[in-house]
Structures are given as structure tokens and as C-alpha cells.
Amino acid sequence: MKTGFDPQKYIEEQSKFILERVNNYDKLYLEFGGKLIGDKHAKRVLPGFDEDAKIKLLQKLKDQAEIIICVYAGDIERNKIRGDFGITYDMEVLRLLDDFRSYGLEVNSVVITRYNKQPATTVFINKLERRNIKVYKHSAIPGYPADVDTIVSENGYGINPYITTTKPIVVVTAPGPNSGKLATCLNQLYHEYQMGNAAGYSKFETFPVWNLPLKHPVNIAYEAATIDLKDVNMIDNFHFEKYHEVTVNYNRDLEMFPVIKRIIEKITGKESVYQSPTDMGVNRVGFGITDDAVVSEASRQEIIRRYFATACDFKKGLLDEESLNRMKVIMEEVELKQEDRYCVLPARDYAAKLKEMNNNDSESVAVIAFEMNDGTIITGKGSATMDCCSAALLNSIKYLAGISDDIYLLSPLILSTIRDLKEKDLNSKITCLNASEILIALSICAVTNPTAQLAYEKLSMLKGVQAHCTAMLNKSDEQILRKLGIDVTCDAVYPSENLYYV
């Protein structure tokens, strides 16, 4: 795959810029937007970007940095799901804690924002504290964010506890957006100045890219990725008025900037060093782009991928019609069609062919097509033994290993035993094997079957493969494909009329 981004240059630029900011203060509170670990969106739109670049950057600064994780109590109460991992936000906090520790980074504490003794959140707090993790509880501040006089007072930030920190860089991150990162940073800033300490605030944001054009595909892909948040990219008018330089930011930051500026000025008692939202950011990702054409095409493909994800979420009732319509407008704006994703038509054509062969006009047919890294299309259809995702996985590794399609990789005896276990002992109504079960069966067969072993060794070569299914995949298959590094999209069609046994 062609690359259009230099990750090493990015890390050098970014770390240098952060350290320049730190030199201005005794302590810098650095709000991290986006994902610290596993930033798949950045990796897709900037081919060559290291999805763990941010955490590796922090690792370089680990002697100077500690981390605070924020999570909004309301997200815990409603079991908000992080889509890429399929886990709730409270579980994502635990995952982040483990991952940060594995990189040798110090986690200061977890902050529960807008806490009001919610039952599920209280249970989560108990769980953390009994594992010796420091937890701080921050209440919602009346009049936030407009009533600056109340916010910057003993009845505002003063009601929330100060988080004791010891290092010059305090990274404030979260499982997702709207978790209270900014409020936590400003709360700390208030307490620092009350104690006579010189502290500062900056924002580490990857997208939108401030020094790319407003309608650059990378920036439009960001709008598509945040369709549920209704983010819209805009010219930073504050920056233009002050510096006569055109830069890009997004609506929430632009709307909030005057208020944030007033809060910082009231906390510090002097004029803010920031004259625009762009000023507040430490974003050097644009300087890592080495091939604009490659990055632009990758971003256009990401927009199509986001369209399919939005359509499926609308079908599932997770998004409103306004979000879907906005996504359609973005597709038209960039002059893209669904079929511009190369693996879409082969999957649909094969499904139509199967429907015609079976004289089936009523039910949907689940077919998945893999676009291999060399451009070859490999398809898979469901059967009584395995689902379409499993079939495509086996077909694709056979192709990579040069194994004839007629040769069986899996022992029929092992497959029938697993099916019997599901049907008779576990009383499952879905007896065909999913991708996880098929991969376990493959790993067992690989022990005694050299052909299966040869195919098994090719699984790592599926990273970067593009896939499209003519029906929505179940969560298990979707997660398996993601773990293998396969980017999958689906038509917004349910695979059957069943509501639960899908």
C-alpha cells in the first residue's frame, strides 16, 4: 500500500512543539482529543501514520508526564459503547489503565465528571478504589459554561477537589468525546492559580488539520467521522482577524473559544496568550504529510466507509435521520458514490446472482467480498456450516497460501463437533460457525495438518484488506475482522427477519 505520511517526522515535530509550550509554565495541562492508542481513523486517512504514534510520543516524554482519565457519569449510566472495540466506556477506562501501564506511563487518577451519585457510576467508583486507583468526583457547575463569574469562584471550580499532580506535563484524556476533559483542565488551572502556581492549558487535537484547506478530503473525512457530534469544519475567524492567516478549526471549538478565553483570563488575572482556537492547539500532523494525492484518496475512501457505518447505525436506531442526511450531503459534496468503494459491487453482484439461482426475492442474502492488498477480489457466502465472514476468511488465506479451493483446511469431524456443542449442549439457535469459532478450529487443525498450518500463517497478511458485506454483520464477526486489520463496511440490511437470533 502506498504511504503518504512520515510518522517519524510527525513525532519529532509534535514533541518539540509540546516541549516549547511546557517551557512557558511550571505545569502544562494538555487536553488530548481523539484516541491516544489505536487511532484507526488517522491511520486510514493518513497512510503511513502509526496508530499508536501519540502514545509513543508520550512514552518519549514519560519522565515529564502523568495522565488523568476523565469519564462522564452519564455515559457510564447509559452504557455508552465505544464502537471500534464494542465495549462500554467504564470498561474502556479499565482498558486504558492497563494499556498506559504497559507503556510505562504513570496514571495519576480517574475523574468522574458531572457526578451526582448515579448508581452504576458509584459501583464503578467502588471497583476502581478497591483496586487502589485514585478516583476524584467532579460535580456539574451551575451556569457552565456561560456564567463565568460563578464558574471561576469558590461556588464553581472551587467546589470540585484539586487533583494533586507532580510532573510538568499533565495529559488529560478520556474514552470518548464530551467526557469533561476541558472542564477538568480548567478546574485544575483554577486551583493552581489559587495556590500561586504558574500553569497553562493546551489542546492536542489531530483533526481537523488547521493548515490544510477547509474542503481538503482529510478535513471532510473528519466531519464524516464525527457525524453523530454534528461537528462542522470552519475557518478560524479569530485567527484570521489577529494574524491574517487562514486556518481551519471546528464549530464547537470556535463557539466555545470566547468563553474559554474569558475563563482563563479570569483565572490568571491577565490577558490570555491565546488569541484563537488554533493558538490553543499543538497539532503538527499536517507537517507529516508527504504525498497529498495518496492522503486525499485514502480520505475519500474513509468518507465512503463512514457513510456505510452511518447508514447501519441509522438502521439500528442509534442515529437520527438528520445525521444520515448530513452524511449523504457530504458524499455528494465530494462527488462520491457507494460503488466507488471497490469491494461493494462484487459483493452485491454475487448476492444478486445467488438470489436469482435460488429464486429468492424476499430475503436478503449475506455475501462478503474482500479486496486483497493486490487488488484481487475474494468472496464468501454463508452456509449451514459457517457464515459468510468465516467462508471469506478461509478463501482469502487459501488464496494467499496458493492452496486450491477444492482442498479442505478444516477437519469435518472438528466442525461437526463444534456445531453439536453449540446446538445440543449450549442450546444455541445459531448453529453455523462464526469467524471466531472458525479461526479456533483452524488453529487446532494447523497442529496436525501442514496445509492448514500454511494457511494459518497467512492470517497476518490480511492487514489492510478492504471488505464489504451485503448485510449487517454480527458484532462478533465485525470485531474479529477489525482485530485482523480488515476494514469492513456493510449495507444497511438485516441478514434475516429475526430480531434477536441474528
Q: Which band of pLDDT confidence, cut at 50, 70 and 90, is reported for residue 435?
A: very high
Which of 29, 326, 320, 39 has the alpha carbon at shortest distance from 176? Answer: 39
Q: Name the 3-class secondary structure at 235.
A: strand
pLDDT digits (tens, 9 = 90+) for 32-47: 988 888 899 999 999 9
pLDDT at 357: 86
pLDDT at 343: 98
Report how far residue 68's alpha carbon sits from residue 329's, in angstroms, rounded to the nearest whole number.
38
pLDDT at 174: 95
pLDDT digits (tens, 9 = 90+) for 124-166: 999 999 999 999 999 999 888 889 999 999 999 999 999 999 9
**CATH 1.20.1570.10, the chain: domain bounds:** 210-339
Contacts of 237 (CB under 8 A, 6+ apart): 254
Question: Residue 236 phi/psi, 5° resolution?
Answer: -75, 95
pLDDT at 363: 67
pLDDT digits (tens, 9 = 90+) for 107-126: 999 999 999 999 999 999 99
pLDDT at 61: 87
pLDDT at 66 over 90: yes
pLDDT at 335: 97
pLDDT digits (tens, 9 = 90+) for 236-274: 999 999 999 999 999 999 999 999 999 999 999 999 999
| Grid cell digits, residue 262 | 474569558
pLDDT at 195: 95
pLDDT digits (tens, 9 = 90+) for 410-428: 999 999 999 999 989 888 8
pLDDT at 362: 57
Pairing mode, strands 135-137 and 106-113: parallel
Report how far residue 176's alpha carbon sits from residue 37's, in angstroms, rounded to the nearest whole number.
12
pLDDT at 501: 66
Contacts of 9 (CB under 8 A, 6+ apart): 287, 288
**CATH 3.10.630.10, the chain: domain bounds:** 15-204
| Grid cell digits, residue 379 | 468472496
Q: Mean pLDDT: which of 10-19, 28-37, 110-119, 196-205 is highest?
A: 110-119
Q: What is the secondary structure of 273-302 as a DSSP string?
A: S-SSHHHHB---GGGGB--HHHHHHHHHHH
Q: Which band of pLDDT confidence, cut at 50, 70 and 90, is reported for residue 22?
A: confident
The residue type found at 311 is: A
Q: Name the 3-class secondary structure at 187.
A: helix
**CATH 3.40.140.40, the chain: domain bounds:** 342-490
Q: Which band of pLDDT confidence, cut at 50, 70 and 90, is reported for residue 502?
A: low
pLDDT digits (tens, 9 = 90+) for 442-452: 999 999 999 99
Query: Average pLDDT over the chain, rounded to whole?
Result: 93
pLDDT digits (tens, 9 = 90+) for 304-318: 999 999 999 999 998
Q: What is the secondary structure of 38-104 as a DSSP string?
A: --HHHHHHSTT--TTHHHHHHHHTTTTEEEEEEEEHHHHHTT-EETTTTEEHHHHHHHHHHHHHHTT
User: 15-204 has which fold?
Assistant: dip2346 fold like (3.10.630)
Q: Name the 3-class secondary structure at 106.
A: strand
CATH number of 210-339: 1.20.1570.10
The residue-averaged pLDDT of 219-244 equals 95
The CATH class of 342-490 is alpha beta
pLDDT at 361 over 70: no
pLDDT at 191: 97
| Grid cell digits, residue 210 | 488547521
Asked whether 472 and 457 are in contact (CB, 8 A), the reply is no
Report how far residue 161's alpha carbon sits from residue 168's, in angstroms, rounded to the nearest whole number.
20
Tell me the percentage of the chain whose pLDDT exceeds 70: 98
| Grid cell digits, residue 180 | 469533561
pLDDT at 351: 94
